[in-house]
Amino acid sequence: MTDTASSSGGIRPDALVRPADPASDLEKAALKGRPKVSLLGLGMLSPAAVLLLVFFFAPVVLTTIFSFTNMTSATGISGGAYVLSPNLLRELERSGVDSDTLAALGTESVVVDQESIAAARAAGVEEDFLEEIEDDLLGVDFDSKQDFERALKDLPSHLRRTRDLKLAADHFLVSALNTRFATRAEASDAISALAPDIAPGTRDRILDASYTGWVWTTENFRRLATQPETLRLVLNTFFYVAVTLAFNVLVGLFLAITVFYLPKGTGMVFSVLWLLPRITPVVLYAIMWKWFTWDGGFVASFADLVGLPSFNYMKGSVPTAWTIVILVNGCIGASFGMILFSGALRSIPMQQLWASEVDGASRWQQVRYIILPQMRWPILFVTCYQSMSLLSSYEQIWLTTNGGPGNTTMVWALESFRTALSNYTGNLQYGQGAAMALVLVIVGLVLSIIFLRMFRFGELVEKPKIEF
């Protein structure tokens, strides 16, 4: 039974083994050849790989890292110390820490010893005065700062002005407040000394709060998810991207088709004019828009002339501010779209347009039925590309309305930039800004995956099946 099966089936053990030999030979040959090829390939790829790593991968990784910290310019990016500041005590009191404990932490004592005298001398207090302090008051205990100041006034060569006296007295005050403790243990000892009855939980809480360096936290994301401004930012960003994108595509298409039908010379002049927003340096371009919409600038004067309200159209009202923001970005994007669409238009064989004319199609029908359907790919490309770049671009808004009036034209990218790198109060919140940037990166990634899926890029970039 087994014999017949094996012979009729033709599967003999040796038959299974035999083909392995030439195959392994082939494999050997392939292996022999492979390292050479892959080394060369790696060599050729390495610059690109390094660039990719440094300029694309590293920023995302760093952003991710920063977004899970509470780094600000106050914490710095290296480690910090433990400091009990009066502000911190006030904050702790507000958040429900026992006020007696806090009062204990805030007490000051007067210590007159060689060390404090040396400190006062270094600060430039008069030598005669210091010598008298050393002679009369060294080692004396005072109940309060007032007692100490009174004692100082009794000294023969005391300072005449009360202010100077008070300043001199400050050198002898000792307090846990505003002292930088390098380690947690030192800070803990100091707290225990001042408030011996403190509960360990409260002490740890105070220690955590007093740390000036950065710590790992998910607070940034929690804040983003809960603060009401987030929704406002999201809606603003969506509105900005959608409307600007529509402007880019529609105006770009309109321009490309118009230029396509214009006589060559006129079309050239026209398209170069429309390229100006793209080739003008962005700062100059933004400043020109500022001048244009200034109070008393062209737009305001013109509005005055025709009886419309005359004001700063860029910053004076929300609808005009949005209009300007969209026009500023839209003109740049439209010229980009125009270039791309013009190229695509020129690749449609002239005979097809001739054929449609002979078939009786009017200009409009030609555009509608012959040109637009064949512009699918460039339109999709501009849509994808521009939605990504608009999502992450903020420079034009920053240079024009800067999110104003109020925060009405603020978008996600600009808010992220302001939080992390251009904060008005001066405390740059790297962590919070990075968290916002990370959200943007994730949204961008998700969008690009959706675009790739939706428009089947692979199919679109396939070689054409018809030869023209």
Partner 1 sequence: MQIVLKDFTKSFDGLTVIDKLNLTINDGEMLALLGPSGCGKSTTLLAISGILRVNGGQILFGDKDVSNLPSQKRNVGVVFQNYALYPHMTAFENIAFPLQVRKTGAAEIEERVREMARLTHIEPYLDRRPGQLSGGQQQRVALARALVRRPDVLLLDEPLANLDAKLRLEMRSEIRRIQLETGITAILVTHDQVEAMSMADRIAIMDHGRIQQIAAPEDMYHRPSNTFVAGFLGNPPIVFLEGKAIGNGAFESASGMRMPLPERLTGLAADQPIVMGVRPEHFGVKGRHTVRGTVSFIEPQGRETHFDLTVAEGEVLRSIQAARTDISLGSEVEWPLDVDKALVFDSEGNRL
CB of 376 to partner 1, least distance (A): 8
Nearer to partner 1, 86 or 349 (CB): 349
- For partner 1, the binding residues in 292-351 under the rule CB under 8 A are 349, 351
State which residue, 225 or 358, has the beta carbon closest to partner 1.
358
| Binding residue (CB under 8 A) for partner 1 from 374, 383, 392, 407 | 374
Spatial CB neighbours of 113, under 8 Å, sequence gap ≥ 6: 138, 139
Q: Report strand pairing: 82-83 vs 180-181.
A: antiparallel
Residue in 237, 248, 342, 356 binding partner 1, rule: CB under 8 A: 356
Does residue 369 interact with partner 1 by CB under 8 A? yes
Among 136, 295, 357, 395, binds partner 1 (CB under 8 A): 357
> Is the CB of 157 or the CB of 362 nearer to partner 1?
362
Nearer to partner 1, 144 or 362 (CB): 362
Applying CB under 8 A, among 46, 157, 362, 422 the residue interacting with partner 1 is 362
Torsion angle, alpha carbons of 418, 420, 422, 425, to 10: 90
380 binds partner 1 (CB under 8 A): no
Minimal distance, residue 382 CB to partner 1, in Å: 18
**Contacting range for partner 1; rule: CB under 8 A; set: 31-39, 90-98, 148-156, 355-363:** 355-363
- Choice from 282, 361, 367, 388 touching partner 1 (CB under 8 A): 361
Q: Positive or negative CA dihedral for 7, 11, 13, 14?
A: positive
Q: How far apart are CA 347 and CA 337, in angstroms?
A: 16
With H, G, I as helix, E, B as strand and everything else as coil, classify residue 307.
coil
Interactions with partner 1, residue window 24-43 (CB under 8 A)? none
Nearer to partner 1, 216 or 354 (CB): 354
Cα(312)–Cα(299) distance, integer angstroms: 8
365 is an interface residue for partner 1 by CB under 8 A: yes
- Closer CB to partner 1, 43 or 360, in the complex: 360
3-class SS at 173? strand
Are the beta carbons of 381 and 391 closer than 8 angstroms? no
Q: Please give the Cα distance from 69 to 53 (Å, whole number).
A: 23
Instruction: Identify the residue among 19, 139, 360, 458 touching partner 1 (CB under 8 A).
Output: 360
From CA 327, how far away is CA 309, in angstroms rounded? Answer: 20
- Determine whether 10 is exposed, middle or buried from the number of CB atoms within 10 Å of its CB (0-12, 13-18, 19+): exposed
E-strand spans in 64-159? Answer: 82-83, 108-110
Calpha distance 338→267 (Å, rounded):
12
* Contact set with partner 1 (CB under 8 A): 349, 351-352, 354-362, 365, 369-370, 373-374, 376, 464-466, 468
